[in-house]
Structure 1
Amino acid sequence: MKTITNKDLMRQANRKLVLQEIFNNKYTTRAAISRQLGLNKSTVSSIYDELKAEQLVEEVGEGAASHVGGRKPTNIRIYGDYGFTLSFDISFHNLHFMANYLNGQVIDQSEAPIYQKSIQEISQIIDEQINHYLTTVTSIKGLLGICLSIHGIVNDQQEITYSPFVNFDNENLRERLGSKYHVPVVLENESNLTAVYVRDFMMTFDHKNLVAISIHKGIGSGVILDNRLFRGFKGQAGEVGRTLTKNAAGQLTPIEQICSEDAIINRLSDELNLTDLNRYKVVDMYRNREPHAVAAINEFIQEIAGLIYNSAMYFDTGAMYIGSPLMEAAPEIFDQVAVRVQQLGKSEIELVRLTDSDKATLLGACSVITHYALDLVGYSLDFSKN
């Protein structure tokens, strides 16, 4: 067995830096990488030749010559067709899924109904989709990895310790999928993945700290501190839906029991004796000034604004990102939340509404699994340029 020397470790570290630099630019050159990283040109060229032989990178024409003239450099970039990743978001009503090339380019995005299905049935649907993409996506290496978005708590051992909406029934999806398809499989909380999406697809590291709050069937948040996902001691960081507030009777209750989308729907269904109520009908009732809907949404605005303000103060961030299908259906609700947040402390909190929260989660999952596929876990990857 070959002994790993300090020279080998340095070579591995330099390879990762070069690969990261190539990924983080739409295209670059070996000379530019050498300047940016402070590495010897021969070192960069040697690593590039190795990456090219593996077909991880490709050449895309000539760049501009330097101001002193000479031979034009060759532009290079990450080779998207090297392989693809798959992401699955296991929500309450639907299984959302997406296929992406290595550079993050979306190949396909869709969903399948899973309401009241067992985890075994959901697992079968996941297998069907994986097999579909294995036979339809053309690439060099094929499937590179799978990320599963969980609406619950995932600890550092990749165990689902809390799942309020889906009973996983001791089904170890990570182990089963990994052994069946022989690729890395990662589980992560849905709100955490939304925060990763904001960091890697939107912010591109301009802000070191940010909070992304997801308001769906429950309420959760993903926290980025110093550009890294903060998961807490047991993976429970960001469980803001369990924040206590007072209900109409003056009793302390988790805020998601009052302000999640399902809480609003259930409240109006009970008060008005309605069935088959959904977010779009709630929005119609609110816009038509139906008193019960107005009261429910006004309470939502007050409570969510307080939650956003407090979260911003806790983590000292000037940027808060909100993923809420209800607010996507009625942007005026978001506008009122934003006004109320500013009124609470006359603060300068930047509030941003995510326009497609389901896609945000899947793209965050794409980023997470791409880090594993490239062996760049812990390295910053900028998907906005690819």
Structure 2
Amino acid sequence: MNRLTIRRINELNVLREVFNQTPTSRADVAKNLGLTKSTVYNIFTQLSNDNLVYDIGQGNSTRSGGRKPILTNFNAQAGYTINAKINSTTISCMSNWLDGSIIDRQEFPIEGKEASQQLLALYQAIKLLKLDNNLSGISVAIGGVVKNNRVVNALNHDLANYDLVQILQSRFNVPVLIENESNLAALAIRDFSSRTIKSAAALSLTDRVGVGLIIDGELYSGFNSEAGEIGQAKFLGLGNNLPISLEEVGSDQAVLNQLEKLKNKRVVVADILRWYDLGDEEAMNILKNFQKSLTIILQNILLLFDPEKVVLSSKILRAIPDILVEVKQQLNQIMSHPLDLELADNADNDNLLGGCALITRKILDLPTAELNFKRRIMPLTN
């Protein structure tokens, strides 16, 4: 290993330490990393020149006395990222400082269902959310399979015909990463949690059915980047005489589609809740199959991967939590330990925060480092 390589490793380790421990001092960083003070001081000078750290004043001296240390912060506002998600009818968009703090969050409509219209709405959303020339990177979450930073397939099949990364890079001149929405939700569980998470599953039931997996602290996407595409699995006994995929009965959108067909009108989640409270027979039958599908999915996730935590994204489950309560009761008969199942407060936010973590790691050149991001709202300073 040559001296330049060692120097770069030391620089990245110092940056990681400041990112996670901010505010900190040069002496503490040197002690924690086992580096000489002169090495750390030189690296701090370089990081300061790159606008990644700044001094905030003196800390307290040790019990033995001596000079008070100079405290240093990671400069989260050295740049910002824009993180988007392509939904069926909208573009969800969030801007974040480099520590993950949220600057802004907005929803933009898509005028039409063609992939070209989705891309136009995505471009316009990013442009409207763009603050200034300090934009450092962009992430995009999609419902589908992404391999080598390209869409392989998606809910809108035509989207795979476009080089999304090249399109955005040519217009905004910053790094662009795209990823499956469930994978990004899994990254959000790991990187924005208050405790260390080594094993987790993010189950998305909104537009489709997909699972993002964290195994041994790393995102697992499989050989063909198709790990977690459990919605494609087909089963008998889900309301049809022929095998039917879990995605056709087990997603929020599937429930909405089935009820719209039966009721012959547009249906929203509030309608489903009302029919559930009234015991509407058609709605109850469809929700029964939705519950069966969820039980099958969670049973397979829990038995195959034994995650320490599962976070579910579903507007229907949030509106009707009794469904998840019944599912838990069924699963408790199978599992030998308590289950850590929780509903995401906002499904899209987890996708966007995961995208923020992914692109920020690329910007900082810390793709595999353990980083502690901040789940907080920080308004733009004047």
The size of the alignment, in residue pairs, is 375
Q: 1:261 aligns with which of 249, 252, 257?
A: 252
2:184 equivalent in structure 1: 193
1:168 equivalent in structure 2: 159
1:148 equivalent in structure 2: 140
Asked if 1:35 corresponds to 2:43, the answer is: no
Q: 2:172 aligns with which of 165, 178, 181?
A: 181
Deviation at 1:252, TM superposition (A): 2.2
1:72 equivalent in structure 2: 68
Q: Does the C-alpha gap of structure 1 residues 68 and 99 become closer, same or farther in structure 2, counting only changes over 3 Å?
A: same
Asked if 1:225 corresponds to 2:221, the answer is: no
Structure 1 unpaired stretches of 5+:
none
Please give the per-residue CA displacement for 1:259-307, whole angstroms capped at 9, x wherever unaligned.
1112212222333x33111222112211222122222223322321231
Asked if 1:109 corresponds to 2:100, the answer is: no
Q: Does the C-alpha gap of structure 1 residues 233 and 115 become closer, same or farther in structure 2, counting only changes over 3 Å?
A: farther
Partners of 1:45 and 1:385 lie apart in 2 by 30
Partners of 2:153 and 2:119 lie apart in 1 by 18
* TM-score, scaled relative to structure 1: 0.91
Alignment of 1:102-141 (within 5 A): 102-114=98-110, 116-134=112-130, 136-137=131-132
Conservation of the 8 A alpha-carbon contact between 2:150 and 2:164: no
Q: Does the C-alpha gap of structure 1 residues 270 and 130 become closer, same or farther in structure 2, counting only changes over 3 Å?
A: closer
Partners of 2:313 and 2:307 lie apart in 1 by 17
Q: Does the C-alpha gap of structure 1 residues 27 and 336 become closer, same or farther in structure 2, counting only changes over 3 Å?
A: farther
Q: Percent same amino acid at aligned positions? A: 29
**Counterpart of 2:137 in structure 1: which amino acid?**
G
**Counterpart of 2:122 in structure 1: which amino acid?**
I
Asked if 1:301 corresponds to 2:291, the answer is: yes
Please give the per-residue CA displacement for 1:176-215, whole angstroms capped at 9, x wherever unaligned.
21133221111100000000000000254x2311111010
Deviation at 1:31, TM superposition (A): 1.7
Deviation at 1:385, TM superposition (A): 7.5
2:202 equivalent in structure 1: 212
Tell me whether 109-118 or 315-324 shows the greater mean CA deviation.
109-118
Q: Does the C-alpha gap of structure 1 residues 91 and 298 become closer, same or farther in structure 2, counting only changes over 3 Å?
A: same
Q: Does the C-alpha gap of structure 1 residues 180 and 146 become closer, same or farther in structure 2, counting only changes over 3 Å?
A: same
Please give the per-residue CA displacement for 1:323-346, whole angstroms capped at 9, x wherever unaligned.
112222233333333333223335
Q: 1:285 aligns with which of 269, 272, 275?
A: 275
Partners of 2:319 and 2:111 lie apart in 1 by 22
Partners of 1:385 and 1:152 lie apart in 2 by 26
Conservation of the 8 A alpha-carbon contact between 1:57 and 1:76: yes
- Residue 161 of structure 2 aligns to a residue whose secondary structure is coil
Conservation of the 8 A alpha-carbon contact between 2:14 and 2:43: yes
Partners of 1:350 and 1:111 lie apart in 2 by 31
Conservation of the 8 A alpha-carbon contact between 2:111 and 2:117: no
1:91 equivalent in structure 2: 87
Q: Does the C-alpha gap of structure 1 residues 117 and 244 become closer, same or farther in structure 2, counting only changes over 3 Å?
A: closer
CA RMSD of aligned residues (A): 1.9
